Structure 1
Amino acid sequence: MTSAPILFIGGLGGSGTRAVAGAVAALGYYPGGCLNGANDNLIFTELFKRPDWLKTRPSADRIEARLRLFGSVMTEGVRLRHLFRAPELYRVRHDQGRGLSGVPDALGWMTKEPNCHIFLEAILKTWPQAAFVYVSRHPLDMAFSDNKGQLDNWSWLFDLDPTGWPTREAAQLEYWIRTQKRLDDLITRYPGRIIPLRFDDFAERPVEQLTALVDALDLPVPAERVVPACADVIRPEGIGRWRSRDLSAFSPEQIKFCSQAGWEV
């Protein structure tokens, strides 16, 4: 193993985290042994995709303790002491195997789960050696995405009532805006530890974008490994779908924010 950072990859659902994570794993990162078809880390999902738990307002110490439990499972597999704290992990113990300890040639361990951005600041505080790749996609494409699970699960964290907007698409765009504002603040407060990655650019120029990510993370990866790592990256048909849609449900302020954030509208 190397001194490569612990790596988390997250963003809004449907933003392209699967493709980015697949390429990063192909570089040599260990993504976990318990993944679904979208390469989501199901152990992270089990422990953290729990809106009802967050609504109890757990302390920062409790969140950190759960993150450290997750990190321990990632590095050594599900052990008996983990099951005492999280019995629900019993069913994934075989898939997880020995964790990172069973893959000695890996760069390090990574976690791809879109919802992990909800815990972005806690992750950076828990592991000073961690970095976060925040994947984003054109906000208007995201507004018209069918993947609105995060809007339903987490909008309350951003003081957002989806029923108070003229359409679900307008509410989804507002969710994107509010998460982006939080991201901008965190990037300022944690310089160099959050790497924003625009999936639109990644899908068009994967080798260039993955090379830039390798450089930003200072990964000990030879250049010749980047091209094959991008072999499965494709340009989704949904890129640019907003151009053929009715944008009248969005407020001028929403459109202005997208433009000021650097997106063509």
Structure 2
Amino acid sequence: MDTRKQIFDRSAPVVVGGVGGSGTRVVASILMELRYYLGDLRIPSNDNRWFADLFFQRPTCLTSLSGISQVRIFKALELFEKLMFRRFTVPAGNPALWIKVIWFAAFFWNDLKVSGRVKILRTGFSYWLRDIISSEQLNYTEFVGWGWKEPVSHIYIEYLNEYFGRMKYIHVIRNGLDMAYSNNQSQFYEYGGLFDAFVPDSPAIAPERGYLDYWIKTNKRAIGLGKRLLGRRFMLLSFEELCRSTKHEIERLISFLDLDRRDVDIERLCNIVRKPKSIGRYRDQDLGIFSPEAIRAVKEIERT
């Protein structure tokens, strides 16, 4: 595929986020096929490891959305940006960068769980050991742009938009009732408290009520912020629509990214999308556990 190179602008990443399990993985795969650089260090779901290690685990002191420190977020984003724009930097080539990595891990999130501090140290040094002989700068000519996929990015939309002034954000959404019965609920357990999501106080109460409450509150917030702060740089992408009208949704994505349709192999991109058997799983469940207000909220969000 011969996609013409655009200006590679550090202030204009393409970010993919959403509630965990929404289908962000396939969107990341499409972006990589379009030759977007999403980082060298990714887990199998295409989450960017650097961003995940810096941002996924919620600091214990962060008990409200208003309690997020812009200074801390910007320092973390500065470090993340430097890590992203080197294929790899050995300590001999730039010791100051690795000193910052260690300093960040040890002191910056000093209120983060011990496992979180260890995680980013382990990530950094495992990457160093794996590529010790390489200090290659990122080759911009290989890509049309850059960005990352990490579902929890939606939590930080305001700060990402301020730090990366020309970023584009793709918010992937999947049917809330389906999501309530997903096994991927790690984001709920990390960030549910920030949104006052319903937490059952008894094993007899279905946890799915809490999962749906989190889905409703986070998606309402992300969509509202995206439209207000980013405007045309915000895209809401329905996973169900992507599976149902694949070509149309991919063409919409290409338009959003300002790519030339003539340079893109649409059929090849369509072949990346696979409809999972889990779509519509809520139909086999007792939806009586959810309030009428919650059901209405799901429908309203899907009509957004």
Aligned positions, number: 263
SS of residue matched to 1:192: helix
Using the size of structure 1 for normalisation, the TM-score is 0.90
Please tell me whether the aligned partners of residues 32 and 99 of structure 1 are also in contact (alpha carbons under 8 angstroms): no
Which one-letter code corresponds to 2:126 in the other structure?
A: R
Instruction: Please tell me whether the aligned partners of residues 33 and 99 of structure 1 are also in contact (alpha carbons under 8 angstroms).
Output: no
Q: 2:34 aligns with which of 27, 38, 41?
A: 27
Unaligned 5+ runs, structure 2: 90-94, 103-120
Q: What displacement does 1:227 show?
A: 2.1
Question: Residues 198 and 209 of structure 2 are in contact (CA less than 8 Å); yes or no, is this contact kept in structure 1?
Answer: no
Sort the Cα spacing of 1:211 and 1:256 in 2 relative to 1 into closer, same or farther, 3 A.
Answer: same
CA distance in 1, matches of 2:24, 2:289: 27
Cα deviation, 1:46-105, whole Å, max 9, x if unaligned, reads 111121266284520210121121112111245433321223223224469668723522
* Partner residue in 2 for 1:38: 45
Letter of the structure 2 residue corresponding to residue 243 of structure 1:
R
Worse overlay, 2-11 or 120-129: 2-11
Partner of 1:84: 99
Contact 1:77 1:99 in 2 (8 A): yes
The answer for unaligned runs of 5 or more in structure 1 is none
Instruction: Give the Å deviation of 1:115.
Output: 1.5
Deviations 1:127-165 (A, max 9, x none): 011111000101100011111111111001112242258
| CA contact 1:74–1:109 (8 Å) conserved in 2 | no
Residue 75 of structure 1 contacts residue 109 of structure 1 at CA under 8 Å; is this kept in 2?
no
1:193 has 2:233 as partner: yes
Report matched runs for 1:49-128 at 5 Å: 49-52=56-59, 55=62, 57=67, 59-79=69-89, 80-87=95-102, 88=121, 89-93=124-128, 94=130, 101-128=138-165
8 Å Cα contact 1:100-1:106 kept in structure 2: no
Q: CA deviation at 1:110?
A: 1.7
Matched position secondary structure for 1:248: helix
1:202-235: per-residue Cα shift (whole Å, max 9, x none)? 1222222111011022124535423212322100
Question: Share of identical aligned residues, percent?
Answer: 30
Kindly tell me: are residues 186 and 25 of structure 1, through their superposed partners in 2, closer, same or farther at Cα, counting changes over 3 Å?
same
Alignment of 1:145-156 (within 5 A): 145-156=182-193
Partner of 2:301: 261
Provide the C-alpha distance between the structure 1 equivalents of 2:280 and 2:131, rounded to a whole number of angstroms: 38
Question: Structure 2 matches for 1:130-169, cutoff 5 A?
Answer: 130-164=167-201, 166-169=205-208
CA-atom RMSD in angstroms: 2.3
SS class of match (2:187): helix
**Over residues 4-46 of structure 1, what are the superposed CA-to-partner deviations in whole Å (9 max), with x where a residue is unaligned?**
6411101111100111110111011011111111111111111
- Please tell me whether the aligned partners of residues 52 and 150 of structure 2 are also in contact (alpha carbons under 8 angstroms): yes
Which amino acid is the alignment partner of residue 139 of structure 1? G
The farther-off stretch of 98-107 and 82-91 is: 98-107
Distance 1:31 1:117 in 2: 17
Secondary structure of the structure 2 residue equivalent to 1:9 = strand
CA contact (8 A) 2:34 2:264 kept: no
Taking a change above 3 Å as real, the CA distance of residues 205 and 179 of structure 1, as seen in their structure-2 partners, is same
1:200–1:214 distance in 2 versus 1, CA, 3 Å: same
**What do residues 167-201 of structure 1 show as CA deviations (whole Å, max 9, x unaligned)?**
21110000011002212320332211221100011
Matched residue SS, 1:24:
helix
Q: CA deviation at 1:256?
A: 1.0
> Are positions 1:231 and 2:262 aligned together?
no
**CA–CA separation in structure 2 for the residues paired with 1:53 and 1:7:** 29
